[in-house]
Structure 1
């Protein structure tokens, strides 16, 4: 790539575009003037990536994550020096754990006005610089970091950063770019714009997996991340049908990994449910999934073998896994599943496991019927329940809708109840930390402007989000989303630990649960009005569906919409 003679900012933009980066997600910062000048000079010709600002570092990393999940395209990210890096770290940690690639740049100063380059300003010496720069501050939350120490390395470093981000297992990388180097004239070209080609799964390893699956009489499949590829989901469906194996999703599915209406869908994992499915299982196949039972030593039994497949099956970012597996294969799941299917299909005829499919299908339908009964019953009481929310969403969601979820205690109800959703239409936004749901939704909407985006978010999660920055970006960039606040006026997950550990304790006896309330409950519905949006508060179950329809109509007209859905309070008044 030709970068010789360009200044550092132009080279940065040129290399990113040459590596296929179409969008730079940014938050404000004073050190990127050369980049802004280069963008202004280009006049939106497509020479450089599109630049879009999201007003807050946590929001911008979340938006880049949502964008990648919806497109599989590498995003660039620009943030503000060490302070911006610190704002961004929680969302970067989530991206690392979810294997979401992005190239993140933070500016800094290394000369403090003492050399011949343009003076960055006195604020750098006093307020904006830390020992070692920004890169060391985030190194445990990203895949790779580097602080540029000479302008000569700038083009090749950006090229390398893109390659490293996308190489399996993918993840965020971080480059600190001194402002002085953005002005400097580049003396070298960047390497050619090529990526490392993913390795082809080892045929012998695929043979080994297939042989175990074929030999198993009662296999069970568990996944959390197959849904990152819609094609991989189709392959998993074909494999499950041929094996007659039920498919369960792990405790924290980041995607919709299996059609919820399929007779082999076993639902979300909890330990009690897993025991029911694993009672007679002779093999568990973990396909892109962390061990779903807890503690790790609890299951499976000694007579059940376990096979693990994933591009990072040992999850090196996790300190403890408690792994007890008979076969562990590191390989791209989307590439591996068709190879496994080919081998299985040669040994098991279509329809040979029809009796098992029928058996699991009956169990599936029994669970769905119980769920529907619960959802319908929930609509007949005076207080809205999350099962009723899921029921009403099923009734009104357009076929092309995308749901972004940042709930905690309501997640299982909502996810179980979204029967109509298909792979590629659901993204989980909570991965160990809260405050990213609105940013996720923005990134997904930016990637899929013609599809309605609905965000389900707990009131506790909502309070962690940079709401003003997110709503402002919705308004500025024309990214309307329907936000459903699950409002129980508190933190149910926090309260749940007290009776669990102290069932007869003082808190339970006095009904005093310190720190678990969000009261008085704010007028959440008023917030979108400041951004030319609409909002309403719903208290009665019968009023929810009309409100959802109005919300969908509003975002169809290009407006931000929020519905404050009032649930039973965490701590009812005495």
Structure 2
């Protein structure tokens, strides 16, 4: 059979040239030309990105997301027309809000119906899946959308899309093409990938640096707030150097990475949906916010009116958020590592009040130590109950420098960061968004990106179910990507309950303990993974068994088999009763 050089083959070549290793795919009737090109490549020994068959698109995009976070390299996701695009679901939101580069390709229904071109409509579904504006489904979440109309420039389009995806602020891109175009025979085009590199990092304008440094050095109580500076390991290094020079405390607000070593004496904790005023924010007379979308929640927790604020971010205007503002003196569109390098160079020779800095350092170190002592007290178990704090402390004990944590704890988000106390850049990742179900696919992507790592996924029972665990664990087994899942199982959705109590603390829902979030009857969640992917499955209800179960699960994962521990925390339906009993015993 004579080989044909088609648009599909050129598309796959372009992905290979761009250093894409995997195509996380859910194939459909729009992909015959791609399937044919892949089959021919396998037969002829041609190197194309490896196909990872994903029985659910949410898992596919979450896996590409996790891979990109660990490796720094964007991967491709291949889905079926508008139905597959819609099935990407919340993963699209996560990639957009998490600033993660990924290329999504979807076919479209053929545009001929009487055999005028190869690939013309020949299945009833081609009429049913023909929609007016397929890219409109995702346009609000993409940096770039484009329809490939010919194979003659498909390589240029793919490289341009990936250049946009990788340029700050990074994000997903979406390409489409009809079957007839994918089947088109074309002449081969040579591309030089080095001509399609991402846009260079942006720096602070030189004239803006001196006023910032002047305000900083005049401050008595400066503070750094960050959320995702840790996406760049070198930026963390620069931040540590900057803070050590001037004894500036660091607060992590809704972190998605390890942004500052938790054991560093200048690290002063984490915050999420805190309902109280953070004393460091309240006391600060200078705050530099670096890479943080939500540095504080003003209704409960905000700086004083006299505090001088500077804001540094790749996207300081937040044009994708319709309501967003903070009272900053100046906003800078700059790369965190580059900006901190500039600032470190300036303060190296600045006139610094060393007595003031040394006194501040002593106070911060005292604060840090007292804070850690309080954290430690919360890690004890009592009355044969497994608390989230105790569970997280036990997980911390089985982690080492070769561990990657995938965190989708949601209602236990702050607890996880507080009691894991990560110290190494690249050791923990969050989705960056609010689309639940990211954890399973992300763990697969993380493991594929660095097979030498031990990957641990931490999730609530709700987000575990959202992750499509049957597909996740089938993929994990098929592609030799074992990881440990620990389910923080409170048998319900706790976050809606917390949201209700925050608005109606003395309402009828609280009085009757009816929040409509109870998962009764309770499912045996770990058995899903066992049935779908042969995972080690175990339910843990006794705190005395917890450490042994974690060690056994880690041992299993390191031997090449995934494991799921379904750990029973106090049920949300019992919390009101437990609180009353505790209050009664105290009285």
Deviates more, 1:197-206 or 1:13-22: 197-206
C-alpha distance after superposition, 1:82-125 (max 9, x if no partner): 00111114211211111111111001122235422134532343
CA distance in 2, matches of 1:435, 1:478: 21
C-alpha distance after superposition, 1:400-443 (max 9, x if no partner): 11110111111111110012542211011362121111011111
Change (3 A) 1:76 1:348: farther
Alignment partner, residue 528 of structure 1: 529
Deviates more, 1:348-357 or 1:500-509: 348-357
CA distance in 2, matches of 1:177, 1:403: 37
Question: How far did residue 393 of structure 1 move?
Answer: 1.2
Alignment partner, residue 29 of structure 2: 30
Alignment partner, residue 84 of structure 1: 84
Change (3 A) 1:118 1:494: closer
Change (3 A) 1:48 1:204: farther
Secondary structure of 1:335's match? helix
Q: Is the 8 A contact 1:89 1:141 kept in 2?
A: no
Secondary structure of 1:403's match? strand
Alignment partner, residue 20 of structure 1: 19
Q: Is the 8 A contact 2:277 2:300 kept in 1?
A: no
Task: Please say if 1:343 is aligned against 2:346.
Answer: yes
Map 1:492-511 to 2 at 5 A.
Answer: 492-511=494-513
Question: How far did residue 495 of structure 1 move?
Answer: 1.7
Deviates more, 1:519-528 or 1:547-556: 519-528
Secondary structure of 1:375's match? coil
Alignment partner, residue 366 of structure 1: 370
CA distance in 1, matches of 2:333, 2:50: 35
Q: Is the 8 A contact 2:251 2:270 kept in 1?
A: yes
CA distance in 2, matches of 1:350, 1:447: 46
Q: Is the 8 A contact 2:150 2:184 kept in 1?
A: no
Alignment partner, residue 216 of structure 1: 219
Q: Is the 8 A contact 1:282 1:304 kept in 2?
A: yes
Return 5+ residue gaps in structure 1 as ranges: none
C-alpha distance after superposition, 1:332-358 (max 9, x if no partner): 112221121111121156976232122
CA distance in 1, matches of 2:263, 2:249: 13
Q: Is the 8 A contact 1:112 1:124 kept in 2?
A: no
> Which residue, 479, 482, 495 being the options, matches 1:480?
482
Change (3 A) 1:382 1:49: same
CA distance in 2, matches of 1:498, 1:76: 39
> Which residue, 268, 271, 281 being the options, matches 2:284?
281
Q: Supply the RMSD in Å over aligned alpha carbons.
A: 2.2
> Which residue, 326, 333, 337 being the options, matches 2:336?
333
CA distance in 2, matches of 1:504, 1:22: 54
Q: Is the 8 A contact 1:305 1:326 kept in 2?
A: yes
Task: Please say if 1:471 is aligned against 2:473.
Answer: yes
Change (3 A) 1:211 1:111: farther
Alignment partner, residue 424 of structure 1: 426
Map 1:285-304 to 2 at 5 A.
Answer: 285-295=288-298, 299-304=302-307
Alignment partner, residue 456 of structure 1: 458
Map 1:161-200 to 2 at 5 A.
Answer: 161-187=161-187, 189=189, 191-193=191-193, 194-200=196-202
Alignment partner, residue 553 of structure 1: 555
Alignment partner, residue 489 of structure 1: 491
CA distance in 2, matches of 1:196, 1:549: 43
Secondary structure of 2:573's match? coil
Change (3 A) 1:504 1:100: closer
Change (3 A) 1:254 1:499: closer
Question: How far did residue 199 of structure 1 move?
Answer: 4.3
Q: Is the 8 A contact 2:392 2:420 kept in 1?
A: yes
C-alpha distance after superposition, 1:456-492 (max 9, x if no partner): 1101111212111111100100111101011111111
Task: Please say if 1:571 is aligned against 2:570.
Answer: no
CA distance in 2, matches of 1:79, 1:516: 33
Question: How far did residue 21 of structure 1 move?
Answer: 2.1
> Which residue, 349, 355, 361 being the options, matches 2:359?
355
Secondary structure of 2:27's match? coil
> Which residue, 221, 238, 243 being the options, matches 1:240?
243
Alignment partner, residue 516 of structure 2: 515
Map 1:307-318 to 2 at 5 A.
Answer: 307-318=310-321
Map 1:52-63 to 2 at 5 A.
Answer: 52-63=52-63
CA distance in 2, matches of 1:311, 1:266: 25
TM-score normalised per structure 2: 0.91
TM-score normalised per structure 1: 0.93
Alignment partner, residue 72 of structure 2: 72
Task: Please say if 1:204 is aligned against 2:216.
Answer: no
Question: How far did residue 225 of structure 1 move?
Answer: 1.0
CA distance in 2, matches of 1:468, 1:54: 11
Secondary structure of 1:309's match? strand
Question: How far did residue 45 of structure 1 move?
Answer: 4.7
Deviates more, 1:79-88 or 1:187-196: 187-196
Deviates more, 1:272-281 or 1:236-245: 272-281
Alignment partner, residue 261 of structure 1: 263
Alignment partner, residue 436 of structure 1: 438
CA distance in 1, matches of 2:155, 2:530: 45
Question: How far did residue 296 of structure 1 move?
Answer: 7.0
Alignment partner, residue 584 of structure 2: none
